[in-house]
Amino acid sequence: MSAARIWIKNPQAIFTANDQDARGGLVVEGALIVELLAAGQVPAQPCAQVFDASQHVLLPGLINSHHHFYQTLTRAWAPVVNQPLFPWLQSLYPVWARLTPAQLALACRVALAELLLSGCTTAADHHYLFPQGLEDAIDVQVEAVRELGMRAMLTRGSMSLGQDDGGLPPQQTVQQGQVILDDSLRLIRRYHQRDAGAQIQIALAPCSPFSVTSEIMQASAALAAQQDVRLHTHLAETLDEEAFCQQRFGLRTVDYLDSVGWLGPRTWLAHGIHFNAEEIARLGAAGTGICHCPVSNMRLASGICPTLALQEAGAPVGLGVDGSASNDASNLILEARQALYLQRLRYGAERITPQLALGWATRGSARLLGRSDIGELAVGKQADLALFKLDELRFSGSHDPLSALLLCGAERADRVLVGGRWRVLDGQIEGLDLGALIAAHRQAARQLVGG
């Protein structure tokens, strides 16, 4: 009998993301799922621990495929509450340029803690701010991920096209191309894990067409191919961006992506709203993925991602909360609910189901990150699980537990397992003084904005 063998028994409802029957629960041994059990079935071997999940809805650990952790420090900042993307960015860039390593560490811990409490076990973060004094920002993020015990795809973002050269960001926030590439290679060599069960992975992520040069896009694509890592950027988020690409490059966004060597299966894009039918077909044929960020897209009035058209064309679709200055939260189960409702406005209630939205937040996001070891409940996959209770007033009278999770607005997981280790128990993160973190983070947020 193994002390690490746990039977998560008879969940109230279960979503495996692959249609397998696991109504009897599943068995975890070490970091892996080793059995899925049909209703009435018992484990093949005795288990040292049995957890009665009859009051829980069981999901794969949710996967957030686009975020900006540092933005938790500028949530609901009054000067930008009613601004669309470009003026929103122009107002915030000078504030973010004052970010210190200590403030970034707090911001990352808050974002990760909030994600973890929402049932998220893996997060992709897009950090592109490296002002003087913050050159080691990704190293700061690595420590925060390790402290929270989660998995992360940390993307080494960059901005190299400042206002002086026709870009959007101020000059103090941009870096030279060689500095960007040298640090990208350093991070890949130091942190990128390639085996199943990886905790830390690195991707390359020039920020956007309006903040980086074509040269850094091309060089990043070449380095990513050489080092076999993934590529990430913002694309087709707003009509302003589309107009910028046509004015500066003489190309629409997907043509631009193709021109710099990014149109392929190594790439996943944040937002992906303003594509025409021909562009959707090209993205699908190339296997380029799209991270849908519904709350941010609604907050900034950017538009609605054509998820089903992209998916039907062959493009993987996942889900992300985007930055906490445009969400203004880091809650992935609420993001899945918003995806359900926003996409129903575009495609109708019959086609956008709770299962589809949860699929984007699990297996779909795993595909965006190039991972086959997470995002679903199956034998041999990582034991990343999220368990939700439906015992609050908001769920009273609900009948279908899986649908109730989204329709009734679940917002906090009761238990979360990452790699076979409990990280959330009874709604609390193991080993984290949440009150102290909130107090320190609030002070840092005031200092940053008042700077």
State pLDDT tens for residues 4-54: 899 999 999 999 999 999 999 999 999 999 999 999 999 999 999 999 999
Confidence of residue 451 (pLDDT cuts 50, 70, 90): low
Taking a C-beta distance cutoff of 8 angstroms, is the pair 181, 104 a contact?
Answer: no
Query: In the CATH hierarchy, which top-level class contains the domain 5-60+379-429?
Result: mainly beta
By three-state DSSP, how is residue 264 classified?
A: coil
| Separation of CA 108 from chain center | 13
Domains 5-60+379-429 and 62-368 share a fold: no
Q: What is the pLDDT of residue 224?
A: 98
Give the containing element (helix H, strand E) for 415: strand 415-418
Q: What is the pLDDT of residue 3?
A: 47
Mean pLDDT of 376-380: 98
Judged against a pLDDT cut of 70, whether residue 414 lies above it is answered with: yes
- Unique residue bearing structure tokens 């969940």: 11
Give the containing element (helix H, strand E) for 32: strand 32-37
Domain ranges of the chain: 5-60+379-429, 62-368
Which is nearest to 292 in space by CA: 244, 229, 356, 243? 356
Give the containing element (helix H, strand E) for 103: helix 101-117
Question: Is 348 exposed, middle or buried (CB count within 10 Å of its CB: 0-12, 13-18, 19+)?
Answer: exposed
- Edge-to-edge order in the sheet of strand 421-425: 13-14, 56-60, 385-389, 415-418, 421-425, 428-429
Contacts (Cβ under 8 Å, ≥6 apart) of 414: 56, 387, 388, 389, 424, 426, 427
- Edge-to-edge order in the sheet of strand 5-9: 32-37, 25-29, 5-9, 49-52
Judged against a pLDDT cut of 50, whether residue 2 lies above it is answered with: no
Type of residue found at 361: A
CATH of 62-368, one of 3.20.20.140, 3.30.420.10, 3.30.565.10, 3.40.50.300: 3.20.20.140
Helices (H), ranges, 210-315: 214-227, 239-249, 253-259, 277-286, 294-299, 307-313
pTM of the shown model: 0.98
Mean pLDDT of 328-347: 98
